[in-house]
Amino acid sequence: MDLLSYVKNAIDVEADSIKKLSENVGPEFESAITLLANCKGKVVITGVGKSGHIGKKIAASLASTGTPAFFVHSTEGVHGDLGMIQENDVVIMISNSGETGEVLSLLPSIGKIGCKKIAITSKSESTLAKACDVALVYQYDREADPLGLAPTTSSTLTLVIGDALAVALSILKGFKKEDFHLYHPGGSLGKQLSEKAK
């Protein structure tokens, strides 16, 4: 197999998984969006490793489309950053296995705080999925790397779920170009929107 075949194969593996995800979207997504839309506080995303990196992007996408959100690293959470989370918030907890120790270690304190929890995981029977109010469960055949180990397909699916939530919420809230410009005045997008506003 030549180098371009490796590239195409990785893309195809991830694309196929996204298609399957779309075909299996169920009522749990509506439940999650309803929770987020009714949130009186902020949306807090947490995770570690690649899930953490994806969580940061999800938080940024939510914030830029009209839903106040930020990321809390799960390890930092148990070392004081849980003080950022309040009862009126909704916490999105990301773990591919649903058994990530650092993420699970937040559950007792979050339970005492009293906010709602949404899991994004590939395991419906995992500790995390069962502990959360809503579990958004994705499935995939394999990671895109040849060893089947590096978070590739799984992290892409998590990102797609986050984007889908952000898009649905922005539509539900009637988010407009003017609102986007308010939160995104810089860069080429900001310039483009400024010129259209003239």
- Map out the domains of the chain as residue ranges: 15-140+148-197
- Cα separation, 21 vs 59, in Å, equals 21
Angle between helical axes of 153-172 and 3-23 (0-180°, round to 10) = 40
pLDDT in tens, 21-55: 999 999 999 999 999 999 999 999 999 999 999 99
Question: Which whole-number Å values give the CA distances from 120 to 95, 167, 186, 196, in the listed order?
Answer: 6, 17, 31, 38
DSSP alpha helix (H) spans, the chain:
3-23, 27-37, 49-64, 74-77, 101-104, 107-113, 127-131, 153-172, 177-183, 187-197
What per-residue confidence (pLDDT) applies to 185?
Answer: 73
The pLDDT value given to residue 196:
62
Q: What is the pLDDT of residue 35?
A: 97
> Is pLDDT of 177 > 60?
yes
How far is it, in rounded angstroms, from Cα 102 to Cα 52? 11
pLDDT at site 195: 63
Section 153-160 average pLDDT = 98
CATH-assigned architecture of domain 15-140+148-197? 3-Layer(aba) Sandwich (3.40)
Q: What's the confidence (pLDDT) of residue 28?
A: 97
Lowest-pLDDT choice from 45-54, 82-91, 175-184:
175-184
Long-range contacts from 176-180, C-beta under 8 angstroms, 24+ separation: 179/66, 180/64, 180/65
This prediction's pTM? 0.91
Quick one: pLDDT at residue 183?
64
